[in-house]
Copies of this chain bind each other. A is one copy, B any other.
Amino acid sequence: MTSPSSVQNSVSGPARVADVEEAVSLDELQLAARNHGMPLEALRYDVTPAGLHYLLVHYDIPFLDPATWRLAVTGKVTRELTIDLAALRAMPRQTRRVTFECAGNGRARLTPRPVSQPWLTEAVGTAEWTGVPLTAVLEEAGVLPDAVDVAFAGADHGIERGVEQDYERGLRLADAMDGEVLLADEMNGAPLPPQHGAPVRLVAPGWYGMAQVKWLQRITVLDRPFEGFQNVTAYRFKQRDESGDPVTRILPRALMMPPGFPDFMSRVRIVERGRHALSGRAWSGWGPITRVEVSTDGGTSWNDASLDPGDPDRSDRWAWRKWAFDWDALRDGPTELLCRATDQLGQVQPVEQPWNRQGMANNMVQRIPVLVRGS
């Protein structure tokens, strides 16, 4: 229980890394109770059903009335715009199937553990997002020649490491204008749920979740790099106190749907001796997945999985790709199942942790402990 005397000290401390022997705190648990992963058995679905998609909310879920909601487009533009929901919905619409992943996915498996939202491996989900291409709105406003960045401000308000803010993220103009980014008001064919940014959010295919600004209220075109907290302080690759490189697109990852059935408490899987059709999904924000490998002996040996060809019209090119592998479980006893993805840039998931002090973009391979038993 937080005592009143400790309240002042806990608002709003610096980022830190847990001590070697320090287990998960109630602060981290509070975040885990709010911000849920996708149960891994939901890897069976091409499109993640509502409520199973991962969720990360920095502050509170705000309530925005769709009837009074307005989007302001301001800054280095020819004409500033104020757009209501009806006007936005009247513009030409597109639907994209996109896999989202939190940049902090895997953080709680790092040693030492950065203290923040304590994700294991499930901070992922795939949805069909429908909305208006960002380019259409920016072209209507008329971006001025000296523009370099575009900032997107949401309505969720909080304080983080001493900085009070509405959640706001910048994209470079070229990324904002790449033709992929949507202002989405529908998820899986229904209006956005409150927790996913209702009434309108940004969808930047291929980018980690921090770029997918929810509860969007204001777009500001800038003639200088955006220097808000979420770009300059959070979401950087740092080893110590240096400013570090920015976190951008999603590094390749494969996940496996755990076979067999679980123990309630440990989630260790029991599988019967015999053949098991292992399957899962793999994705990268840098381009198509070209290879998935599976190890059924704890990482000693690896074998290629088969890859689903994906949608031939490429409307799903930013969505995960299905893979499959038949496993003959011949020996009773414990083992570990692993899988790893390679993308078309040749980026391979590491078996050892790629540590950084904020626990960003850690795509270390998944390990599933299983116990094979005779039938």
Contact with B along A359-374 (1 / 0, CB 8 A): 0000000010111000
**A12 is contacted by which of B57, B108, B118, B263 (Cβ under 8 Å)?**
B263
Interface residues on A, range: 35 or more
Flag whether A168 is at the interface (Cβ < 8 A).
Answer: no
Against B, the Cβ 8 Å flags (1 = close, 0 = not) of A1-41 are 11011111011110000000011111111111111110101
Tell whether, in the assembled complex, residue A157 and residue B261 are in contact, meaning their CB atoms are under 8 Å apart. Answer: yes
Complex contact A44–B30 (CB within 8 A): no
**Interface status of A142 (Cβ within 8 A of chain B):** no
Q: Which of A30, A266, A270, A370 has the most CB of B within 10 A?
A: A266
Binds B, one of A211-219, A305-313, A330-338: A330-338
Q: Is A267's CB within 8 Å of the partner chain B?
A: yes
Stretch at the interface among A45-53, A68-76, A82-90, A280-288: A45-53
Chain B residues with CB under 8 A of A263: 10-12, 158-160
Q: State whether B39 touches A266 (Cβ < 8 A).
A: no
Verify if A109 is at the interface (C-beta below 8 Å from B): yes
Q: How far is the CA of A51 from the CA of B59 in the complex (A)?
A: 17
Residues from chain B with a CB closer than 8 A to the CB of A160 are 263-265
Given A1-B367, A11-B371, A108-B26, are A158 and B59 neighbors across the interface (CB < 8 Å)?
no
| Inter-subunit contact A158/B61 (CB<8 Å) | no
B24 contacts A25, C-beta separation under 8 Å? yes
User: Contact at A333–B371, with CB atoms within 8 Å?
Assistant: no
- The chain B residue sitting closest to A51, CB to CB, is B51
Contact present for A265 and B57 (CB under 8 Å): no
Taking a contact as CB atoms closer than 8 A, the residue among B8, B53, B61 that contacts A41 in the complex is B61
- Residues in B whose Cβ lies below 8 Å from that of A25: 23-24
Across-interface contacts of A186 in B (CB, < 8 A): none
Q: Is the CB of B335 within 8 A of A4?
A: yes
Q: Does A320 contact B (CB under 8 A)?
A: no
- Whether A194 is near chain B, meaning CB under 8 Å from some CB there, is yes
Report A166-216 residues with CB < 8 Å from chain B CB.
193-196
Q: Is the Cβ of A266 less than 8 Å from the Cβ of B10?
A: yes
A115 CB-CB contact with B under 8 Å: yes
8 A-B pairs with least C-beta separation: A23-B23, A51-B51, A36-B36, A7-B334, A10-B266, A24-B24, A160-B264, A32-B32
User: What are 5 A-to-B residue pairs whose CB atoms are below 8 Å?
Assistant: A4-B298, A10-B263, A10-B265, A27-B265, A160-B263
